[in-house]
Structure 1
Amino acid sequence: MSLALEDRLAITELISLHGHLVDEGSLDRLEELFTADVVYDLTDFGGEPLTGIAAFRDAAWARGEGNPVAHHVTNIVVTVAPDGRVEARSKGLGVLADGSCGSVTYHDTVVRTAEGWRISRRRVSPRRAPLGGKAASG
């Protein structure tokens, strides 16, 4: 299955919208990003997966000042899996209030809904070592 250019653009804009809404504190608009039953997987950070928009919203509010002040997304790659699932992979940069920053990879499954494309699953993986953590051979 191929994906139309219009769908690829819509998915790219969907992923980009995440940072704008979260950074603005517009958590009342998360339905524009996620399916109602979204799984937001933070296990690579030692947390449990969050299931549903309310769980994501509550976790963000609970984290308060610990949230990044800026989420930047880049390098979005959209693919169609052999089973027909649409997947997107992107890089994220988070800037904290003290000026420190970190890098993550977002692994998304996106689905077409009556309202448009939405993220149904997101796994967030921190980037902590260069070259995928693989030691140089030589």
Structure 2
Amino acid sequence: MTDQTLESRIKQLEDRAELQELVAVYGHRIDDRDIDGIADLYTGDAVFDSTDGPISGRGPVLDYYRRQLDRYGMTYHYPHSHTIEFTGPDTATGVVSAHAELAIGPTPFVVALRYLDSYRREEGRWKFVSRRALQLYAAPLSELPDVLSGRLRKRWPGTEPLEADIPETLPTWKAYESSRA
């Protein structure tokens, strides 16, 4: 047993459940094109880091979402695993493994993601302070059987294939690979 009281342990379980709900609601609001609802999930000083690099401030982050969502037809975001580390009574970090299915024109796409999140409780609710989306792969569904075998797994329309963000760049991956040599 730790030195935590029963009350503080229950509070942490409630906070963990609220953070998991935040991540689930994020996917629903993206897929439903609920821009006001997405805004409500972020702090005013939010940062989102993805394909366009880091974007700071709730307004610019929402502009990014609008631009991206304008490119897509139907989308379906679904989180898988979610780990959370509390860094203070009102702050935490998390790692979310997720997938997204989307349509770009007539082409169905699939994306595997790992979000690196920072959270802060504001006005009694947990919100995203930052989200960094790392791509394991992004490809037309028809290319999925071939895409997993190489490093050029980011295959967005209109661009040359790019190396995936992870896992090859991770220190643990690199150490494992060097131990095999």
TM-score, shorter chain, exceeding 0.5: yes
Could you tell me which residue of structure 1 aligns to residue 28 of structure 2?
20
CA contact (8 A) 1:60 1:67 kept: no
Superposition misfits of 4+ residues, deviation over 2 angstroms:
65-68, 128-138
User: Is 1:95 the equivalent of 2:106?
Assistant: no
Could you tell me which residue of structure 2 aligns to residue 62 of structure 1?
67
SS at match of 1:38: strand
Identify the structure with bigger relative contact order (alpha carbons < 8 Å, sequence gap 6+): 1
Over aligned residue pairs, what C-alpha RMSD do you find?
2.7
Distance 1:119 1:105 in 2: 15
User: Is 1:32 the equivalent of 2:58?
Assistant: no
Say if 1:67 and 1:38 are closer, same or farther in 2 by CA, change over 3 A.
farther
Query: Which of residues 84, 107, 116 in structure 1 aligns to 2:116?
Result: 107
SS at match of 2:108: coil
CA contact (8 A) 1:30 1:53 kept: no
Distance 2:59 2:92 in 1: 24
- Equivalent pairs counted in the alignment come to 135
Distance 1:19 1:96 in 2: 12
Could you tell me which residue of structure 1 aligns to residue 163 of structure 2?
none
| Cα displacement (A) at 1:48 | 2.5
CA contact (8 A) 2:91 2:121 kept: no
Could you tell me which residue of structure 2 aligns to residue 48 of structure 1?
53
What amino acid does structure 2 have at the position aligned with 1:12? Q
SS at match of 2:43: strand
SS at match of 2:167: helix
Could you tell me which residue of structure 1 aligns to residue 80 of structure 2?
74
Say if 1:11 and 1:107 are closer, same or farther in 2 by CA, change over 3 A.
same
Shifted more, 111-120 versus 121-130: the winner is 121-130
SS at match of 2:116: strand
Higher Cα Rg, which structure? 2
- Unaligned segments of structure 1, at least 5 residues: none
| Cα shift readout 1:70-89 (whole Å, capped 9, x = no counterpart) | 1111101111248x841111
Distance 1:115 1:30 in 2: 17
| Cα shift readout 1:91-128 (whole Å, capped 9, x = no counterpart) | 12111213220101001111111140011011111114
Shifted more, 89-98 versus 65-74: the winner is 65-74
CA contact (8 A) 1:68 1:94 kept: no
| Cα displacement (A) at 1:29 | 1.5
| Cα displacement (A) at 1:31 | 3.4
**TM-score, normalized by length of structure 2?**
0.65
Distance 1:52 1:38 in 2: 5
